[in-house]
Structure 1
Amino acid sequence: MKTQEIIRVTLQNEMDLILAHKRSMRLGELAGLSLSAQTTFATAVSEVARNTIDHGKNGCLVLSVTTGQKEKYIIARINDDEPQLQKYEGLEYAKRLVSKYNISTSGNETSIELYYYIPLSDKLDARRIDSWRLQFREEPALSPYEEIKRKNEQLQDLAQKLKESEQQYKTLTNALPLIIFTLSEAGNLVYANEWLRRFTGAGIAELNETRWRGVVHPEDYDSFALLINHNPPLGAATIKTQCRLRHRSEDEYYWHLASISPLRDEEGRLQYWIGYLVDINAQKMMETTLRNNEELKETQQQLREHQDALETNISNLNRSNRELQEFAYVASHDLQEPTRKISFYSDYLLNKYEGQLDPKGRDYLGHMQRAARRMRTLINDLLAFAQVEREGITFKPVNLNELVQQVVQGLELPIAEKHAAVEVADLPTIDADPGRMHQLFQNLLSNSLKYAREDLPPQVRVYAEVDGDQCTICVADNGIGFDEKYLPQMFALFQRLHSGKKYEGTGLGLAICQKIVAVHHGSIRAQSQVGEGATFILTLPLHQ
Structure 2
Amino acid sequence: MKPAKSYDQLVRENEALLLQLEEATETIHAIRTGQVDALVVEGKDGHQLYSLKTADQTYRFFIETMNEGALTLNEDGLILYCNSQFASMVGMPLSRVIGLSFATFIPADQMETYEKLFRQGWSEDRKFEMALQGFNHQILCQLSVSSLELDSGISLSVIITDLTTQKETQKLLKANNQRLEEMNAALEISNHDLLQFASVASHDLQEPLRKIQMFSELIKKRHGDDLPAESVRYLEKIIDSSERMRTMIVDILRYSRLSSNDNTFVKTNLNDLVGEVLNDFELRIREKNARFLIDPLPEPEVNRGQLRQIFQNLISNALKFSKHDQPPLIEIKGEVLPGTHDDEPVCVLTITDNGIGFEQQYAEKIFSLFQRLNTKDVYEGSGIGLAVAKRIIDKHNGHIQARSQEGVGATFIIHLPLKQKRLA
| Same fold at TM > 0.5 | yes
1:365 counterpart residue number: 235
Alignment of structure 1 residues 349-360 onto 2, 5 Å: 349-360=219-230
Tell me which of 258, 278, 283 is aligned to 1:388: 258
Code of the aligned partner of 2:324: E
Aligned partners of 2:375, 2:255: CA distance in 1, in Å?
A: 22
Distance 1:363 1:527 in 2: 39
Per-residue CA deviations over 1:348-384 (Å, capped at 9, x if unaligned) read 2234444544444433332222221111111111111
What residue in structure 2 maps to residue 463 of structure 1?
A: 333
Q: Is the 8 A contact 1:389 1:519 kept in 2?
A: no
CA distance in 2, matches of 1:253, 1:489: 56
Question: Which residue matches 2:408?
Answer: 532
Q: Which amino acid aligns with 2:401?
A: R
* CA distance in structure 2 between the aligned counterparts of 1:253 and 1:508, rounded to whole angstroms: 61
Letter of the structure 2 residue corresponding to residue 402 of structure 1 = D
Q: Residue 398 of structure 2 contacts residue 417 of structure 2 at CA under 8 Å; is this kept in 1? A: yes
Counterparts of 1:535 and 1:144, CA distance in 2: 67
TM norm structure 2: 0.59
Q: Say if 2:358 and 2:410, in contact at 8 Å, map to a contact too.
A: yes
CA distance in 2, matches of 1:276, 1:415: 95
Q: Which residue of structure 2 lines up, in the alignment, with residue 494 of structure 1?
A: 370
Q: What secondary structure is seen at the aligned counterpart in 2 of 1:427?
A: coil
Query: Matched residues in 1 for 2:248 and 2:123: separation?
Result: 77
Cα 1:131/1:491, change in 2 over 3 Å: farther
Check whether the contact 1:424–1:462 (CA below 8 A) recurs between aligned residues.
yes
Tell me the alpha carbon deviations over residues 268-306 of structure 1, each in whole angstroms, 9 at most, x when there is no partner: xxxxxxx99633x31xx44x859x99xx79x99xx79x9
Which structure has the larger Rg over C-alpha atoms?
1
Mark the CA change 1:411 to 1:420 in structure 2 (over 3 Å): closer, same or farther.
same
Q: Does residue 280 of structure 2 align to residue 410 of structure 1?
A: yes
Q: Specify the SS of the correspondent of 1:496.
A: coil
Aligned length: 304
**1:137 and 2:13 equivalent?**
no
Residues 87-126 of structure 1: pairs in structure 2 closer than 5 A: none
Q: Which among 146, 150, 169 is matched to residue 255 of structure 1? A: 146
Query: Which residue is equivalent to 1:485?
Result: 361
- For residues 12-27 of structure 1, the aligned pairs below 5 Å read none
Aligned twin of 1:244: 124
5 Å-filtered alignment, 1:46-195, equals 130-134=44-48, 137=50, 144=57
Contact 2:199–2:253 under 8 Å retained in 1? no
Check the 8 A contact 2:357/2:409 in 1, yes or no. Answer: yes
Q: Percent identity?
A: 36
Identify the structure with bigger relative contact order (alpha carbons < 8 Å, sequence gap 6+): 2
Matched position secondary structure for 1:535: strand
- The separation in 1 between residues aligned to 2:300 and 2:368, in whole angstroms, is 27
1:345 aligns with 2:187: no
Deviation track 1:128-178 (CA, whole Å, cap 9, x = no partner) reads 8535524x6389999959x9xxxxxxxxxxxxxxxxxxxxxxxxxxxxxxx
Q: Contact (CA 8 Å) 1:396, 1:432: kept in 2 or not?
A: yes
TM-score (structure 1 length as normaliser): 0.47
Distance 1:323 1:506, change over 3 A: farther
Separation in structure 1 between the aligned mates of residue 410 and residue 280 of structure 2, nearest angstrom = 22
Match of 1:503 among 369, 376, 379: 379
Partner of 1:435: 305
Indicate the RMSD between aligned Cα atoms, in angstroms: 4.8
CA distance in 2, matches of 1:258, 1:139: 8
The 3-state SS of whatever aligns with 1:380 is helix
Shift of 1:442: 0.5
Aligned residue identity for 1:506: S
The equivalent residue for 2:205 is 335
2:346 partner amino acid: Q
